[in-house]
Amino acid sequence: MRPTLSRFRGRLLAGAVLPALLMVVLVGMVFLSHYQSDMEKSFLERGKAIARQLGAAAEYALFSDSRETLAMLAEGARQGDAAIVAVSVLDRHGRTLVHSGAPLPLHHALPLLPTLQVANGGEFVTIQMPIQQAILPIASEETDWHGAAQTLQPEVTGYLVVEISRAELADRMREMLRITLAIMLCGLLLAGWLSLRIASGVLASLDAASQELHRQKEAAEALARTDALTGLANRRAFDEAARLEVQRALRYGTQLALVLADLDHFKSINDGFGHHSGDEVLRHCARVLSATVRHVDVVGRWGGEEFVILMPDTGLVEAVQAAERFRQAIAGTPVPLGERSCQCTASFGVAALQRGTADLEALLNRADAALYRAKERGRDRVEAG
């Protein structure tokens, strides 16, 4: 039962702790993934905003072909933001007019389109912004058939290329990863502690229930092997112990004796004093026998008013002497019954284990025959068989 309970305890702890740990890990991973995605989007939006701002600022300088102004704009943008690695201004054909910072290995691969282009290059992000000449709609006498003023499409006059380092983003992500891992670790410890507290409470209840069940089982087993009236071993328990002692005596060649005792005129006691007094006489004799035998001897109630004593390592002569002590102890101790007392005696039959008929049944039969002779010869005596 204990190994089974230990396995159950381990499974209960695992069942309580693992789901909590998995939940903390899952929540942490989802949060980290969502945060990294938001940071990536924010980084790209920031880069696009920089490109749009620089593109709008470079529109007039590009239109007027003021390369000095474009160079100042590019250098100022790069110096003003540490994340900007390089800034280039291209003409409408893709030729470099102004460049500030590290070479741009990526912008040549971007198509020259009238829309904003983004290229992820691992450690860097390249954003290409078309610079378009702003054209205001002019109302003329010639209108389309809807009657609206003609709207001219803006003309691309060049391109602004900005390369932004992802180092700051990577640092922020690593910092957030450390923070998330620290939070997850605290969450794991808290979840594990709470789970263990819950599981410990359940296990304490299980242990208490198991101990109570074990105690009740032992009590039930003791009750099944104990005579309810006298507290001595019942016939079943005595029979099991006696058979083991017989086997031990035969194996090691030791002596073994058995004594049967029967209370004299017990029916007269029941008739004269009542059955309740008869029960008290049986309990009294059981106490006297238990107090007189050795600690290695086994005393049991054989049935009715009969008692049996098994005496290991004892020969026939010693057993007869012991039975005589038992007889004298019972005869010399009146039984108090309220305001009265009862004097009772017992007859004893003694037998020792013999190698020719070395079994419990033969030993009991010879002790019973000796007890019968003691009854025939006047009771309150000891006979050997």
Q: What is the residue-wise DSSP string for 321-336?
A: HHHHHHHHHHHTS-EE
- Give residue 101's region: left, alpha or beta (phi > 0; psi -120 to 50): left
Instruction: Check residue 233 and report its DSSP letter.
Output: B
What would you measure as the largest C-alpha separation in the chain, in angstroms? 158
Question: 123 an active-site residue?
Answer: no
d(CA 74, CA 53): 12
DSSP-assigned beta bridge partners for residue 352: 257
Buried residues in 331-354 as b, exposed as e (16+ CB within 10 A): eebebebeeeebebebbbbbbbbe
Q: Which amino acid makes up residue 264?
A: D
CB 297 within 8 A of CB 310: yes
d(CA 280, CA 271): 14
- Token look-up 């079994």 returns 359
Active-site residue, selected from the candidate residues 305, 339, 376, 383: 305
d(CA 201, CA 139): 85
Q: Which amino acid makes up residue 71?
A: A
What is the Cα 244 distance to its own chain's centre? Answer: 43
Q: Following CA atoms 107, 109, 111, 116 in sequence, which dihedral angle do they give, to the nearest 10 degrees?
A: -40
Nearest C-alpha neighbor of 164 from the set 122, 112, 130 = 122
Q: Which residues are catalytic?
A: 305
